[in-house]
Structure 1
Amino acid sequence: MSHTQLIKDTLNILDLNIYFEENCLTKEKYKGQICLIYKGTLLYKPEECSHCLCVVPSRIIRWGTTTVRLLLNDVSEYRTYLELKKQRFKCKSCQRTFVADTSVAEKHCFISQKVRWSVIARLKENTSMTEIARQKNISTSSVYRVMKRFYRPLNPFKQTLPKVLCFDEFKSVRSVASAMSFIMMDGQSHALLDIVENRRLPYLERYFSRFSLATREAVQLIVIDMYAPYVSLVKKLFPNAQLIIDRFHIVQHIGRTFLNHRVKETTVRLKGNSHSQRGLGKKLKRYWKLLQKEESKLNYEKRVWRASF
């Protein structure tokens, strides 16, 4: 195996047009740190001019070289660079010059593709962009640009809405400023459509304003709980939608209202002057579970003696 192929295997370089000479590896102090510098040459015969697309080989001549320093993945905990001498060419047809291209890095970019893929792999983990930038010896802005370029949402935003929508809220994550987040589902397929970090009315109005008026007018039914901003939102942005209160929240509201009324009546009667009033208050307090029991579960046939009656 030649030393060129050995170095390519070490650095995971697949470009066949890069060559390394003997003693191409040096240790230099670069940007305040001892780094490994691999010096190579990029040379090939271009098939055409990148400007005028001239394909006559005799019209394209060599026109000096230009040297670039590309950042690679670390080798043995050393920051590693590829100092690549690129061949320049001149086209006699258009009198313009161009530089040889390589698959190691994109044009006008000094961060290799392998470093970018390594950044993508780290973005999948629970690691901050600042820490990734420190590990890969690049700036945080570079990490953000890589994420912005390669990230694709699992559920891309669609400019359509189903005929039946379900609104609700839940406690999402600690990083969210609002106490509750907004969740939206398809009322027919039960598929999760989207999550908004804040359930307050201004946030929801901005979110649904992205949809066209025709899309919002096509919504026929919206199922909500008794959260008042949802009612205002539907009346303002969904002119043809019919509001439906979720039966679970109706039962829950009735149950809570009955519970609060029982506690209030119990407190008043326990503080009463007459013995009968205090006795009734004790019964309301002792048998509160019986008062809230479902009617179908009550036993009308079996009677049990109670000391309070």
Structure 2
Amino acid sequence: MSSYNDCIKFSLNIKDPLLEFLDISIGKYRNRDAKFYHAVAHLDQCLNCGSTNIVHNGHLYSNVRYPALDASLPVFIRVAKQRVICRDCHMNSMAETELVEKYCCISNATKRKIIGSLTEDWSMKSIARQTSTSTNTVQRVLERYGYSTVEDIDWLPEYLAFDEFRGVGRQLHFIAIDGHTHKIVKVLPTRLKKDIINYFKRFPLTVRNKVKTVTMDLNYYYDIMAKELFPNAQVILDRFHIVQMLNRSFNSCRIQEMKKHKKGAKEYNLLKYYWKLYLKPFEDLEKVKPYHQPRLKDTLTQEQVVADGLRLSPELENTYNLMQDISKALRDRDTDKLKDLIKSKDHVGNMMHTTLNTFKRNLHDILNAAKFDESNGCLEGTNRKIKQIERTAYGYANFTHLITRIQLEEKGAIIKEKASSWYIAA
């Protein structure tokens, strides 16, 4: 091999010994300027019987797309594949190369680059543009990678987290992840109770009995389903959702009281423009240093602003105190106080009253939220990433494509390391 050939192979990171590079040129491909590397794929024996008693029978030329070093020009390797006729078995053979799969014009290196790009937050159209391929090619690579349908039914994580996200066709999909490793366990096309039960009942009872905790939001049938599927597991309601319900209940009461006052009045402004202070933990409010409050035309501390707002209504004050006390009990992991507060009979807003009834129905799970460290925080983070994937793609119409893309981005670093071994010559 010449030094010219070795130099090109080194620059393109090609190691196929049967491929010899001859020249480089600039030409046209579909009316676009492109860079061409001219190469010959040699064949010195019959691929059918292995005989070297062969007769050369010309070449088959193929333009193979290859990743460009920069975005200036698309790169093609024009491979002349040598064809031979065997004198012993009288069969035709054609040279093959590790550069590209048989009957394909997209190089394995390009496919590896597509896989690596699919692990990033890029749209398929952007990836196609960067790799000088079509969107359909990117989709085919995505489908070929696919996601494994072979699942180990002899194992489940000890700490499960349940939730749902909106995906294909604005439909809600059920998702379960490992609460400790944060790896996705399963994503189902729907969140229907029967589908979730059918999936988990494929696991033997001995496996399901090993699950220790299941964290979830306040979805009504998740609780019933978890207790049926995992008899030994403690069901934990996510603390974020508990506090969120409390905040919404207080805000509902605050807005009702606010609307009783004239717009622009001090009472209205107290409840309208300082809503964040009411949701802030009371102990974190500034109690010493006053600030000028332009909406109130007065100099007050944060504590004074909140106190003035709560004086407008005993019902609002009771609702605020209950919200603050339950939130503090959760932070302090005080289950006894939490239990007493949930059973409180103070006069509170209508929505807070409904929230308390919900908490009473799920009292055991609420108390578990204070006892255990597990939460749905990791799952909410996963859902955030999934939403970003969908946002970048302007939504997905194919559920398999969505799940594959989720798994690719989840395993991003591993995929990039192993990509070189996924597309080798057939």
Query: What is the aligned partner in structure 2 of residue 142 from structure 1?
Result: 137
Structure having the higher helix fraction is: 2
- SS in structure 2 of the partner of residue 57 of structure 1: coil
Task: Give unmatched runs, 5+ long, in structure 1.
Answer: 268-281, 298-309
Whether 1:61 aligns to 2:58 is: no
- The residue type paired with residue 97 of structure 2 is T
Structure having the higher strand fraction is: 1
Whether 1:39 aligns to 2:32 is: no
1:144-293 to structure 2, matched below 5 A, reads 144-150=139-145, 157-162=151-156, 166=160, 168-169=162-163, 177=170, 182-183=175-176, 185=178, 194=184, 201-202=191-192, 204-210=193-199, 213=202, 215=204, 219-220=208-209, 227-230=219-222, 233=225, 238=229, 241=231, 246=236
- The residue type paired with residue 219 of structure 2 is Y
* CA distances 1:234-277 after superposition (whole Å, capped 9, x unpaired): 68x84x8478654888xx69x97xx99xx9xxx9xxxxxxxxxx
Query: What is the aligned partner in structure 1 of residue 298 from structure 2?
Result: none
Q: 1:167–1:225: 8 Å Cα contact kept in structure 2?
A: no
What TM-score comes out, normalization by structure 1 length?
0.62
Query: What is the aligned partner in structure 1 of residue 123 from structure 2?
Result: 128
* Identical amino acids, percent of aligned pairs: 19
- SS in structure 1 of the partner of residue 141 of structure 2: helix
Shift of 1:132: 0.6
Query: What is the aligned partner in structure 2 of residue 274 from structure 1?
Result: none
Q: 1:18–1:43: 8 Å Cα contact kept in structure 2?
A: yes
Query: What is the aligned partner in structure 1 of residue 74 from structure 2?
Result: 79
Q: 2:34–2:75: 8 Å Cα contact kept in structure 1?
A: yes
- SS in structure 2 of the partner of residue 109 of structure 1: coil
Q: 1:225–1:245: 8 Å Cα contact kept in structure 2?
A: no
Aligned-residue CA RMSD (Å): 4.5
Shift of 1:131: 0.7
Query: What is the aligned partner in structure 2 of residue 17 from structure 1?
Result: 18
Q: 1:67–1:83: 8 Å Cα contact kept in structure 2?
A: yes
- SS in structure 1 of the partner of residue 129 of structure 2: helix
Shift of 1:216: 5.2
Work out which of the residue numbers 43, 47, 50 in structure 1 matches 2:47: 50
**Aligned partners of 1:284 and 1:27: how far apart in 2?**
80
Task: Give unmatched runs, 5+ long, in structure 2.
Answer: 258-312, 338-426
Q: Judging changes above 3 Å, is the alpha-carbon distance between structure 1 residues 173 and 152 closer, same or farther for their aligned structure 2 residues?
A: same
Higher RCO (C-alpha under 8 Å, 6+ residues apart): 2
Whether 1:114 aligns to 2:113 is: no
Q: Judging changes above 3 Å, is the alpha-carbon distance between structure 1 residues 73 and 288 closer, same or farther for their aligned structure 2 residues?
A: closer
Shift of 1:89: 1.6
Query: What is the aligned partner in structure 2 of residue 304 from structure 1?
Result: none
- The residue type paired with residue 47 of structure 2 is S
1:95-114 to structure 2, matched below 5 A, reads 95-114=90-109
**Aligned partners of 1:19 and 1:163: how far apart in 2?**
52
Query: What is the aligned partner in structure 2 of residue 303 from structure 1?
Result: none
Q: 1:42–1:86: 8 Å Cα contact kept in structure 2?
A: yes
Q: Judging changes above 3 Å, is the alpha-carbon distance between structure 1 residues 195 and 285 closer, same or farther for their aligned structure 2 residues?
A: same
Higher alpha-carbon Rg: 1
What TM-score comes out, normalization by structure 2 length?
0.47
Query: What is the aligned partner in structure 1 of residue 271 from structure 2?
Result: none
Query: What is the aligned partner in structure 2 of residue 7 from structure 1?
Result: 8
Shift of 1:99: 0.5
- The residue type paired with residue 5 of structure 1 is D
Q: 1:201–1:233: 8 Å Cα contact kept in structure 2?
A: no
